[in-house]
Amino acid sequence: MNRFDRVTSILLLLQTRSVVTARFLSDHFNVSERTIYRDIRTLENAGVPIGAEAGVGYFLERGYRLPPVCFTLDEAASLLLGEKLLVSSLDANSLQDFKQALNKIRAVINSSDKDYLSAFDADIEVLPTGSHFPIDNINQHDQNESAPAVINKNNSREDYSPKTQGGVSHSGDRWLRECRSALLHRQVIEIDYIALSSHRDTKRHIEPIGLFYYSWHWHLIAWCRLRESYRDFRLDRILSFSPQPEQFSRHSRLTLQQYLNEQPGREELQEVELLFGPEAARFVGEQRYMFGFIDEKRQQDGVKMRFLTPVPEYMARWLLQYTDDVEVISGDSIKKALQRFSAQLSTHWSGK
C-alpha cells in the first residue's frame, strides 16, 4: 500500500472507532509506529482535527466528518461476493439488511461501473457450505481429463481433491481478486494449473465465465483452449495467473447459469435422515458439513440429522466409522451401501 492510500485509510479508521492506538495502526498496516506518527502528522497538517491522549490513543475531534466516499469497483465487487456467501449462513432479516446496505453502495458507485457490477452478479454462484457439486466418485482414482469439464461419463471430476474428506479443510484459494477483474473485463487468462488426475502442471489459456463456490473452495469455470471444452479450475490449484491483453466476447461463451444447468446430476440430491447415538454425535463435528448437512434435532436417544447428498456411497464410507452407533432412519441407498461395505469388510478380515 502506498503512503497516500495508507494515510487515507487511517482517516477512515479514525472515523469508525472512538479511539485507535499507534500500535493498532502499525499492526494493521504492517509498518512501524514511527511511520504512523508521520502519517498522523500529515493528517494534522492537512487540517484534520486529531486529538491524542497519552496511553489512550488518537481520536477525531467531536463533530468532524468526511464527505461521502465513493466505493471502487473492486470494493463493491468484494461486497457482492460477501452477499453470495452470506445467503446460506444469515437469517432472513439480517440478509435483507445486508442487501439493503449493498443497494446503497450500488447507488453511489460510478454509473459506468454499475453495468459491470450487474454482469458480475450473474457470474457468481454459491452452494451452501459443504455441498458437493457435481457428483464426486471416490472409486475413480485415475480421472480422465479429456472428459467434460465437471462430470464425465463415470461421474468423476477433473480436480476433485481428497483434502476435503474426513473434516473441514481451510481453503487456500487464491486469485479471487484477479478472477473478479478478468470476469468484469472478459480477459483471456494464462494459468499454470495442477490437475489432480496427473499431478503435473500445464500451461493453459482460458476464457473465464464465472466463479462457483462449493465443497469449501472457489472454482473458476472457463473455456479451456488447450482442452477445447469447458473446465472447472479450483483456485488453490492455480500456480500462476496472468491476465492477457486479449479479450473475448461475452456472447461467444455460455453464461455460468447455462453451464451449470447443463451439468448432469445437479438435481439428483437425496435426502437422508440419520440418528447418531450420544457418543457418536460427539465426534461428528464439522465433518457433517462435507456431506450436505441440513439440520439437526436433539432427542433423548441421540441426535437426529438430515442431509442432502449426491453420492450415497461416499457418505456410507464415512458412516462406517460409527459402527452400530448410527441408524439410518430414511435413505435406502445409504442403508444398502452400508450393508454391502459391511459384508465386504467381514469377508476381508475373516480371511486374515
User: Taking residues 273-277, what's their average pLDDT?
Assistant: 94
Q: Is 297 helix (H, G, I), strand (E, B) or coil?
A: strand
Highest mean predicted confidence (pLDDT) among 116-125, 256-265, 302-311: 302-311
Query: Which amino acid, 8?
Result: T
pLDDT (0 to 100) of residue 66: 63
For the four alpha carbons of 290, 291, 296 and 302, in that order, the dihedral sign comes to negative
Residue 241: the pLDDT is 95
Please report, for the chain, the start and end positions of each structural domain, with discontinuous segments joined by +: 3-60, 73-121, 162-262, 270-350
* Model pLDDT, residue 36: 92
pLDDT, average across residues 19-23: 91
Please give the pLDDT value at position 25. Answer: 92
Which whole-number Å values give the CA distances from 140 to 15, 143, 195, 287, 291, in the listed order?
A: 55, 6, 14, 22, 18
Considering only CA atoms, which of 269, 274, 267, 268 is closest in space to residue 288? Answer: 274
State which amino acid sits at residue 157.
R
Cα distances (Å, whole numbers) of residue 139 to 143, 160, 331? 10, 12, 21
Tell me, what's the pLDDT at 245? 93
What is the band of 319 on the pLDDT scale with cuts at 50, 70, 90?
A: very high
pLDDT confidence bin for 207, thresholds 50/70/90: very high
Residue range 269-280: mean pLDDT, rounded: 89
Residue 112, Ramachandran bin (φ over 0: left; ψ between -120 and 50: alpha; else beta): alpha
Q: Tell me the C-alpha to C-alpha distance, in Å, between residue 47 and each of 40, 42, 44, 63, 203.
A: 11, 9, 5, 14, 53
pLDDT of residue 225: 94
- What is the reported pLDDT for 173? 65
Lowest mean pLDDT among 9-18, 166-175, 266-275: 166-175
pLDDT higher than threshold 50 for residue 146: no
Top-confidence residue, 216 or 190? 190
- Categorize the per-residue pLDDT at 111 as very low, low, confident or very high, splitting at 50, 70 and 90: low
Average pLDDT over residues 306-331: 89
| Largest Cα–Cα separation, the chain | 85
pLDDT value at position 169? 37
Residue 325 DSSP label: G
CA separation for the pair 16, 36 (Å, rounded)? 17
Residue 68 has pLDDT above 70, yes or no: no
Residues 103 and 93: their CA atoms lie apart, in Å, by 15
- The arithmetic mean of pLDDT across residues 239-248, rounded, is 94
Name the least confident of 50-59, 72-81, 145-154, 183-192: 145-154
State the Cα–Cα distance between residues 3 and 345, nearest whole angstrom.
64
Inform me whether the pLDDT recorded for 92 exceeds 80.
no
CB-based contact 167:287 (threshold 8 Å)? yes
Residue 166 binned pLDDT confidence (cut-offs 50, 70, 90): very low
What pLDDT sits at residue 328? 95
Residue 54 — very low, low, confident or very high, per pLDDT cuts 50/70/90? confident
| Top-tier CATH class for 270-350 | alpha beta
- Write down the pTM of the prediction: 0.56
Grid coordinates belonging to 169: 479443510
Q: Is the pLDDT of residue 136 over 50?
A: no
Q: Residue 305: what pLDDT?
A: 93
**Section 323-327 average pLDDT:** 94
Quickly state the pLDDT bin for 13 (edges 50, 70, 90).
confident
Q: How many CA atoms lie within 13 A of 321 on its CB side?
A: 11
Instruction: Specify the residue for cell string 473434516.
Output: 167
Rounded to whole angstroms, the Cα distance separating 256 from 240 reads: 23
Q: List C-alpha distances in Å: 256 to 37, 132, 222, 225, 279.
A: 49, 17, 9, 17, 43
Better-predicted residue by pLDDT, 84 or 267: 84
Chain mean pLDDT for the chain: 78
Cα of first residue to Cα of last residue in the chain, in angstroms, is 63
**C-alpha cell at position 57:** 490513543
Report which secondary-structure segment, H or E, holds 97: helix 92-108
Task: Inform me whether the pLDDT recorded for 152 exceeds 50.
Answer: no
More confident site: 306 or 174 = 306
CATH class of 3-60: mainly alpha
